[in-house]
Amino acid sequence: MKALDHTSFSIEKGEFVLIVGSSGSGKSTLLNMIGLLDRPTNGKVFIDGIDTTKLSENKISSFRNKKLGFIFQFSNLLTDLTVLENVLLPRQIAGTNGSAEKDARELLKTVGLESQMNKRANKISGGQAQRVAIARGLINNPSIVLADEPTGNLDSVTSDMVVQLMKSMAKKLNQTFIIVTHEPEHFGDVDKIITIKDGKSYVGNPTSELEVIA
């Protein structure tokens, strides 16, 4: 059985997009392909006009660090590091420290965690940890932010706060947000909803290609 079959759609720069579908429909597999974590066995994935399926492993890693940011259902913070140190990690991995600490502090201020920067990650609440994860996902100034069930582990009040934060960041930075969720009602008005059922999408023509413009 194919995880995805003739899935095709296009996303424009700055769009806030939801990918929805039942468990096992192929949502996370699709997000992994857009995030260059998995390669399609057939078809192509275009990001910013580049056919990423033709990139070598080394180039994929570099491309991912420059173009993509990730936010997951669980914040996955390193508990022995401070909030600030967790946000700095992707910049350190990319080897582009430069103004990293200044940028990280500014992001944490933007997500309302200016007073929590020097706390250990295991000393903050779940909602605060998810806001740290958003800041971490944005530290490399990615063109595209991919989020896999970012509100799935939060209560309704904190979930609403995180949704509004992501929407405001998308608008402020003109970044593309692509979010897998089984709770689309929590996100209100969005630019596009892509429904996946049995590996097939309900958007676009079945050409086995998908394109994300960053």
Question: Does residue 157 sit in helix, strand or coil?
Answer: helix
* Alpha-carbon gap, residue 42 to 40, rounded angstroms: 5
- Chain length of the chain: 214
Q: What is the pLDDT along the chain (214 residues), one digit of tens a residue?
A: 566 766 778 889 899 999 988 777 778 888 888 899 888 888 888 998 899 989 998 899 888 888 899 988 778 899 999 999 999 998 887 777 678 899 999 989 888 899 999 999 999 998 899 889 989 988 988 889 999 988 887 788 888 888 888 898 888 888 899 999 988 888 888 999 988 877 677 653 334 455 655 4
Answer yes or no: are the C-beta atoms of 69 and 148 closer than 8 Å.
no
9-76+138-212: in CATH 3.90.1150.10: no
Q: What angle do CA 11, 130, 113 make, to 5 degrees?
A: 115
Could you tell me the pTM of the whole model? 0.83
DSSP 27-89: HHHHHHHHTTSS--SSSEEEETTEEGGGS-HHHHHHHHHHHEEEE-SS----TTSBHHHHHHH
Q: Could you state, in order of their start, the residue ranges of all structural domains in the chain?
A: 9-76+138-212
